[in-house]
């Protein structure tokens, strides 16, 4: 687009407006002096004053409110990334997080996981539901494909089943860390006030006194990197270094990759993956 260094917000609004097809909004096309929607048409769709919208495009009238930006974003049918950019130009900050439930991941993201054959890797939501995993994760951590969708939740596995407690070498420290990171993730994406979050917290508090105690402690953890020590029923003791990554354009998702600490740990992961593949053939 043609930029305007002195008025980047107005330049962006003009660019988005002139790219819209009037016919897509039920408006008469005909002969227009400029392409796209007219300023008053955008103002009507956004339920704001045509004068105020014109001032925004012209760089007059001061900073718009978050409510006005939301209305304009809807009026211009902006995508989520475009809406975020509008907020950065208008207010100098991102918009407030809006949590969205996730049921799965794209094939491209699955290919990223599959490209790490000896590094268990998962994709989780802010609610800590596992929505993507590779073969190494299924072999060493949990074969999520064998679980009902609602049970593919790290917190449920940690606190309501014996496997989570038996699987982790230092369960108490891991549990404290997981609850703190879960709390931080929910707040980051605006899920802390959602019905789904309240239902999950109530369920875990009812089923697990340990979770209830940790939740009431109000501790927050940063889920970045560390070492995970696993007791596997077939492979024995396995050490893994883990790192967490954001998924670009998907703030509600996070990727965790576990790398074997030593060649011996890598051999154990390889043996588990090969054994699993042999069963599937």
Give, for all 281 residues of the chain, the pLDDT tens digit: 444 557 889 999 999 999 988 888 877 766 777 788 999 999 999 999 999 999 999 988 778 888 999 999 999 998 877 888 888 888 887 776 566 677 788 899 999 999 999 999 999 998 899 999 999 999 999 999 999 998 999 999 999 977 778 888 889 999 999 999 998 888 777 666 578 888 899 999 999 999 999 999 988 887 778 899 999 999 999 999 999 998 877 778 899 999 999 999 999 999 999 998 887 76
Q: Which pair of structure tokens corresponds to residue 189?
A: 């994406």
pTM: 0.70
Same-domain status, 45 and 148: no
CATH code of the domain containing 77? 1.10.260.40
Q: Residue 271 is part of which domain span?
A: 107-280
Q: Please state, in angstroms and rounded to a whole number, the distance separating the CA atoms of residues 159 and 29.
A: 60
Tell me how far apart the alpha carbons of residues 79 and 19 are, in angstroms, rounded to a whole number. Answer: 14
Are both 81 and 114 inside the same structural domain?
A: no
The encoded tokens of residue 115 equal 């490209």
Tell me if 96 is assigned to some domain: no
67 in the same domain as 30:
yes
Dump strand ranges (E) for the chain. Answer: 121-125, 130-133, 225-232, 236-247, 250-260
Is 266 found in the same domain as 183? yes
Is residue 208 within 8 A of residue 153, CB to CB? The reply is no
Is there a contact between 50 and 40 (Cβ–Cβ < 8 Å)?
Answer: yes
Domain assignment present for 230 = yes
Q: Is residue 142 part of a domain?
A: yes
Are 36 and 17 contacting, i.e. CB atoms less than 8 angstroms apart?
A: yes
- Asked if 194 and 276 sit in the same domain, the reply is yes
Final residue belonging to a domain, choices 91, 119, 138:
91
- Are 112 and 253 in contact by the 8 Å Cβ rule? The answer is no
Residue 242 included in any domain: yes
Report yes or no: 256 and 242 within 8 Å, Cβ to Cβ. yes
């Amino acid at each position: 687009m043609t930029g305007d260094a002195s008025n980047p917000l107005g330049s962006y609004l003009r660019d988005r407006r002139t790219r819209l097809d009037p016919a897509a909004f039920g408006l008469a096309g005909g002969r227009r002096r400029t392409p796209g929607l007219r300023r008053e048409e955008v103002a009507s769709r956004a339920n704001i004053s045509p004068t105020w919208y014109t001032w925004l495009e012209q760089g007059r009238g001061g900073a718009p409110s978050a409510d006005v930006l939301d209305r304009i974003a809807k009026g211009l049918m902006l995508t989520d990334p475009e809406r975020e950019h509008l907020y950065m130009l208008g207010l100098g900050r991102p918009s407030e997080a809006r949590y969205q439930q996730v049921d799965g991941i794209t094939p491209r993201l699955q290919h990223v996981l599959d490209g790490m054959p000896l590094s268990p890797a998962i994709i989780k939501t802010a609610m800590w539901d596992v929505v993507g995993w590779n073969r190494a994760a299924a072999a060493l951590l949990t074969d999520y494909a064998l679980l009902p969708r609602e049970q593919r939740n790290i917190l449920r596995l940690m606190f309501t089943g014996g496997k989570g407690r038996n699987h982790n070498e230092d369960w108490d420290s891991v549990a404290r860390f997981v609850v703190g990171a879960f709390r931080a993730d929910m707040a980051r994406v605006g899920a802390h006030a959602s019905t789904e979050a309240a239902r999950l917290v109530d369920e875990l508090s009812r089923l697990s006194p340990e979770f209830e105690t940790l939740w009431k402690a109000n501790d927050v953890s940063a889920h970045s990197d560390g070492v995970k020590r696993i007791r596997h029923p077939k492979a024995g003791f396995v050490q893994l270094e883990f790192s967490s990554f954001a998924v670009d354009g998907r703030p509600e998702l996070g990727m965790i990759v576990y790398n074997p600490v030593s060649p011996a740990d890598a051999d154990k992961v390889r043996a588990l993956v090969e054994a699993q593949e042999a069963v599937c053939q």
